[in-house]
Each structure stands twice: as C-alpha cells, then as structure tokens.
Amino acid sequence: MKRALVIGGNGTLGKAVVAKLQEYSVEVITAGRQSGDYHVDMTSTESITSLFETVTNIDYVIVAAGQTHYAKLEELTPENNMISVQGKLLGQVNIVLIGQHYINDKGSFTLVSGIIQDHPILKGASSAMVNGAIDSFAKAAAYELPRGIRLNSVSPNLFVESAEKYKGVFIGFNPVPVERVANTFIQSALGIETAQTFKIY
Amino acid sequence: MKRALVIGGNGTLGKAVVAKLQEYSVEVITAGRQSGDYHVDMTSTESITSLFETVTNIDYVIVAAGQTHYAKLEELTPENNMISVQGKLLGQVNIVLIGQHYINDKGSFTLVSGIIQDHPILKGASSAMVNGAIDSFAKAAAYELPRGIRLNSVSPNLFVESAEKYKGVFIGFNPVPVERVANTFIQSALGIETAQTFKIY
C-alpha cells in the first residue's frame, strides 16, 4: 500500500485531496501547523526535518498549504513580504530540499501555487511572486531528482467553495470545484509526469 | 534630461546598459556593491533606503545584478538557497517596494531574471526559482504602481560575451549579444509597456 504525506490536510483543499487519495487506496498521513496526525511548522527547517525523521516510508508528499500576505503594493514592505516568502515559498521548497533525502524511490512531490501569478489581483503581488517561484522551482528541480522521484506544482483557480467569500477580490474569476483541483493533485502525485505546472483555470 | 539609476552598472550587462542609456541622452548614475557612483548592498533594506534618500530625481531604475547560488539539488539546502533569495529575489523586489515611494512620476523599474526558469540547467534550481518569482512579481506589482510608474522584467539568455566560459553549463544554448539585451532594457525602461517579461532567447 502506497503512503502519502499531506501537509495542510485539514484545509478546504487538503481535505478534498485526502478524500481523493483514499478513493485510490492510498494510506494518508496528514500534517499541519495546528491539526493533522503530526504537527509541522513549514517556516522551520528543524520542524520539517523532524517530520521526515518521524514519518517514514512515504511515497507521495503533497503540500496543500502556505501562508501569503495580501497588501496593497504601497503598503507591501520588505518585512511583511517575508510572510509569503517564509510561509509559502520557502516552506514548500524546503519540504522538497529536505524531503528529497527521505522520500521513497519513485515517489513524488506536489506543490501548490495559484492563478494570480497569471491573472494578478489587487493586493496580490507578494502572493503572485511566490507562486511564480514555486512553479519555476518545481520545473527546474524536478530534472535533478534521483531515484525516479518526480516533482510538479498545481496552480488552482479560486475554489467554488470559497467563491462567495472572495468574489470581491477575485473579480470575474470563474471558480473551479475543489474536487477538480484535488483530482489534479492525484494526477500529479500518482501519475507519470514531472517538471510540470498543472493549471486548473 | 531624464535620469537613470543603474544598480549593477559595472558588470558585463550593466556596462552595456549604461552605454545604451547614454546613446539615448539619459543621465546615468550607477550603484553597486563595491563599484559605481554609489555603494548599495541589495540584501539590506537600510542600504536600499539610503540609496534612494541620497540619489534623488530618478526616472528609470534598472537592476542589472543579483547573486544566485548554483548547486546540485542534492546539495541545495534551506541555508544556501537563501543566497539567491536574499541576493537576487528580495534584493530586486525590495528595490521596487522601497523605490516606489521615491521614483519620479511616469518613471519605470526594470528587473532582471533569466532563461533558466524556462530551460533549466544542472545546479540551477535555486536560480530558476528566483527568476520565476521576479517575473511574477513584476507582472502583478506593475498594475498597482501609482503616478504612471511602470515595471517590467527582462529575462536574458546566456551572453555571447560569456559563452565560452559557460558553454559547459548552458549546454546548447544559443547565446545572445549583450548589446541586444541592453537594448531590451532600454525598451522596457524608456518605452510604454508595463507588467511585461521581455524574453531574449
């Protein structure tokens, strides 16, 4: 039985990914900042290392979480921009950099970026920046992974499930059901592709 | 007479950009870590702020520098990856975040990324990551800049002038003359476009 580690498994997206993995008879271990089977602070390399030391025999690592800072550009500063850099960009990248030494042969990493790098929204520059970084990192790093390990990113649109809450921000975006997004995480994690960005727009 | 601040004006690219700006009768001020009219440490927000406090009345800010760390993925760590994050990504982003409050009306920012986000090379994952971030940041942030200020990034191929030195790394890349790249920096800085990535591949 294959085993997946889903980081951020208790959010809207994470829960949908977990359900989808179970449809495919994959054993799921979840980790999160305050919930999940294990606790992990993505901003701490010690915490990520500890997670991989503790949770062994993992085939699929899926990240469905990452904090970004939304602010008008005039109010975006070198300091508050670091919330996105640490919380979403380096958090995910470090999971790959550390996890590459632990994950099973022929395993996979799936990271999450987002649509606003392609279609910016007001206050979204910091988030767009990290999304672009994640996709470019996944594309470049994938080719250097050993032992048949794969790496992709998934860039989702606004979810149908969050559309009412965010429709004033994601103006005119056509939301997608989170179940569709979760399915694409499965495609990335269990399929054969690598070095790809799966855009669900 | 319009005034340009070229950060990294003493490198191969910077010198070509300076020469091209002078062809267009733009007054050029250069800044660099160890050379140029003014010294600036792009990894320090205090140093960037001090530069903009000192060098006033700037129409065009052009960045032609940024340090990245090249390492095999297995040797890339959360720690050495920060060389690229601080030296190229945050350096450039912070120049925009701080400089937006100083640059003249209808001014422009031009940042530099690079081809390996689109065509990865061995040991280039960290560099590809920051290149993708810079392009996505430029695209998103540009739409929020006030007072007619524009923002673009330029993503160059390997330079003809460096091709012999790097041909074992940039295998099979078709190098471009640095003069062509410098011309594109002028197109970005003095033209009308914004939120664009100019790819010179």
Residue ranges in chain B modelled with pLDDT below 50: none
The mean pLDDT of A9-13, rounded to a whole number, is 88
What is the 3-class SS of chain A, one letter each residue? CCEEEEECCCCHHHHHHHHHHHHCCCEEEEEECCCCCEECCCCCHHHHHHHHHHCCCCCEEEECCCCCCCCCHHHCCCCCHHHHHHHHHHHHHHHHHHHCCCCCCCCEEEEECCHHHCCCCCCCHHHHHHHHHHHHHHHHHHCCCCCCCEEEEEEECCEHHHHHHHCCCCCCCCCECHHHHHHHHHHHHHCCCCCCEEEEC
pLDDT for position A10: 85
Measured between beta carbons, which residues in chain A are less than 8 angstroms from residue B73?
A: 97, 100, 141, 144-145
Given B129, B131, B136, which is nearest A128 (Cβ)?
B136
pLDDT for position B122: 98
* Chain segment A89-132, per-residue pLDDT in tens: 999 999 999 999 999 999 999 999 999 999 999 999 999 999 99
The residues facing A7 across adjacent strands are A31, A63
pLDDT for position B1: 94
* Chain segment A26-78, per-residue pLDDT in tens: 999 999 999 999 999 999 999 999 999 999 999 999 999 889 999 999 999 99
What span, in angstroms and rounded, lies between the C-alpha atoms of A154 and A191?
Answer: 13
Is the pLDDT at A140 greater than 90, yes or no?
yes
Measured between beta carbons, which residues in chain A are less than 8 angstroms from residue B131?
A: 136
Phi and psi at residue B144, to the nearest 5°? -105, 0
> What number of other Cβ atoms are within 10 A of residue A193's Cβ?
13
- Determine, for residues B129 and A137 on separate chains, whether the beta-carbon distance falls below 8 Å: yes
Given B129, B141, B146, which is nearest A133 (Cβ)?
B129
pLDDT for position A9: 80
Interface pTM, i.e. ipTM: 0.96
What percentage of residues in chain A have a pLDDT greater than 90? 97
Count chain A–chain B contacts defined by CB atoms under 8 A. Answer: 133
B52, B75, B144: which to substitute to probe chain A, counting the most A Cβ within 10 Å?
B144
Question: Under the phi-then-psi rule, with left for phi > 0, alpha for psi from -120 to 50, and beta for the rest, what region is A163?
Answer: alpha
CATH of B3-200, one of 1.20.120.1630, 3.30.450.40, 3.40.50.150, 3.40.50.720: 3.40.50.720
pLDDT for position A65: 87
pLDDT for position A144: 98
